[in-house]
Amino acid sequence: MGRPIVAIVGRPNVGKSTIFNRIIGDRLAIVEDKPGITRDRIYGIGEWVDQEFSIIDTGGIEIEGEDEIMRSVRMQAELAIEEADVIIFMVDAKAGVTAADEEVAQMLFRSKKPVVLAVNKVDNIQRQDEIYEFYSLGFGDPVGISGSHGIGLGDLLEAAAKHFPENKDEEYGEEVIKVALIGRPNVGKSSLVNAILGEERVIVSDVAGTTRDAIDTPFEKDGQKYVIIDTAGMRKRGKVYETTEKYSVMRAMKAIERADVVLVVINGEEGIIEQDKHIAGYAHDAGKASIFVVNKWDVVEKDDKTMHQFTQKIRDHFLFMTYAPVVFVSAKTHQKLHKLLPVVNQVAEQHAMRVQTHLLNDVVSDAVMMTPPPTDRGKRLRINYATQVSVKPPSFVFFVNDSDLMHFSYERYLENKIRAAFGFEGTPIRLFTRRKSDDE
């Protein structure tokens, strides 16, 4: 099952984004320097005592216009109530309890979800006394924190972690491929699910998912077992989701976390929009195998170049996901639908592939010989050896003389050489460096 989900909620200017950034720390640096990733960061990964959790900064979701502020806050609270396991309700020690705080408190109180009350801007010991008035909101002991000074975050995360759901083992065996369909509204996800399940009378049985309202549909085709993790269809659609497309990202989170293979569904009729990039980026960040599925291909006027041109557009827009294959289908007419599951099988296999250490080092040695690492201030990177440390996604550690000498461009070069030698189609791969002397 996926990570616990924590949402930070509160009225504007209480410091939600500062706390969000402190909790996720420098993890952003891993992905933000990659070309082609352009999206609002309202979701990240935090960690507390070896337990990873997903965290949502609802402050990243805004509605323009001053008169819309309270409406925006209400929507953010509604989002947190629907999606999160634990809610951090943030207020401002300097401002005291406001009418807006009380309104948010009422919504959260009715939700029956666990709430941790965080009083921000408690920057010094004198301010500690100011947290007591917040007991009136009805959420027990407030936790005094300071986003600007990083005070109290440990206490805050400890309080939140007490409410994390038990991490039950995934109920499906290793042989089952878990598939999630993600995409903005109206790209045809539901009809694509129905088309996949309806084709050639595959064996279907509905099972209510054990993971927070997702609906899992197990089925079998040609001897391979699958589970489709549905992100939308069966759940009540609150007004919150119809108002802004950003919320569709949140719905996709839980499904992405649990999936092996993510189908990024794009509307072939409308083409690619910025929101598609946002959503696909989350699958990439989560290290999942991915396939671009261009739906509604039956209604696109085309000639012998159209498919190639559309594929090139995808490559141009999603520079950070050049590894993901592209499949053109029509859920309505079932055109080319038979090609989809074989590609799913292929990328699932590549996602879980392990390379023998001696073969990997042969490839790395050849790569270094062909193009030696550049020098940096008179020093040159030396790679002693490399080894694969995990799968899903395939991850490699390079033991080197100095990690700082591994430049992004050379890392990309090595990744390309590894892909050329072993494939890894459809899956991101992770490369890490470690100083040789650190090796126990």
Query: How far is 161 from 51, CA to CA, in rounded Å?
Result: 9
- The answer to whether 183 is annotated as binding is yes
**Residue 123 annotated in ligand binding:** yes
Task: Name the DSSP class of 35.
Answer: T
Q: How far is the CA of 273 from the CAs of 37, 38, 278, in angstroms?
A: 13, 12, 9
Rounded to whole angstroms, the Cα distance separating 283 from 267 reads 18
Please check if 140 is assigned to a binding site: no
17 marked among binding-site residues: yes
Q: Give the chain's largest Cα–Cα span.
A: 73
Task: For 357, list phi and psi in degrees, rounded to 5.
Answer: -60, -40
Compute CA 245 distance to the chain's CA centroid, rounded to the nearest angstrom: 16
Query: Per the annotation, does 277 bind a ligand?
Result: no
Q: State yes or no: 402 annotated in a binding site.
A: no
Q: Is 190 annotated as contributing to ligand binding?
A: yes
Q: CA 19, CA 53: separation in Å to the nearest integer? A: 15
233 is in an annotated binding site: yes
16 annotated to bind ligand = yes
Flag whether 348 is marked binding.
no
Which residues is 55 bridged to in the sheet? Answer: 6, 44
Has 267 been labeled as part of a binding site?
no
Flag whether 61 is marked binding.
yes
Q: Any idea what DSSP says for residue 151?
A: B
Percent helix, strand and coil across the chain, each rounded to 5? 40, 25, 35
14 annotated among ligand-binding-site residues? yes
222 marked among binding-site residues = no
271 is in an annotated binding site: no
236 is in an annotated binding site: no
Tell me if 234 is assigned to a ligand binding site.
Answer: yes
Q: How far is CA 312 from CA 4, 216, 305, 315, 423, in A?
A: 37, 33, 11, 5, 20
User: Does 374 show up as a binding residue in the annotation?
Assistant: no
Is 221 flagged in the annotation as binding? Answer: no
Q: Is 12 annotated as a binding residue?
A: yes
| In the block, residue with structure tokens 């100083």 | 435
121 marked as binding residue = yes
167 is in an annotated binding site: no
**Omega into 165 within 30° of 0, i.e. cis?**
no
Spacing of C-alpha 163 from chain mean position: 22
400 has binding-site annotation: no
Q: Confirm whether residue 387 is marked as ligand binding.
A: no
Q: Are 7 and 87 in contact (CB under 8 A)?
A: yes
* 48 marked ligand binding residue: no
Cα separation, 324 vs 386, whole angstroms = 25
N residues, the chain:
440
Residue 260 labelled as part of a binding site:
no
59 is in an annotated binding site: yes
186 is in an annotated binding site: yes
In the block, residue with structure tokens 């040159």: 380
Does 75 belong to an annotated binding site?
no
360: left (phi over 0), alpha (psi -120 to 50) or beta: alpha
Residue 436 in marked binding region: no
Closest CA to 336 of 287, 302, 288: 302
Annotated binding site: 10-17, 57-61, 120-123, 183-190, 230-234, 295-298
Annotated binding site for GTP: 10-17, 57-61, 120-123, 183-190, 230-234, 295-298
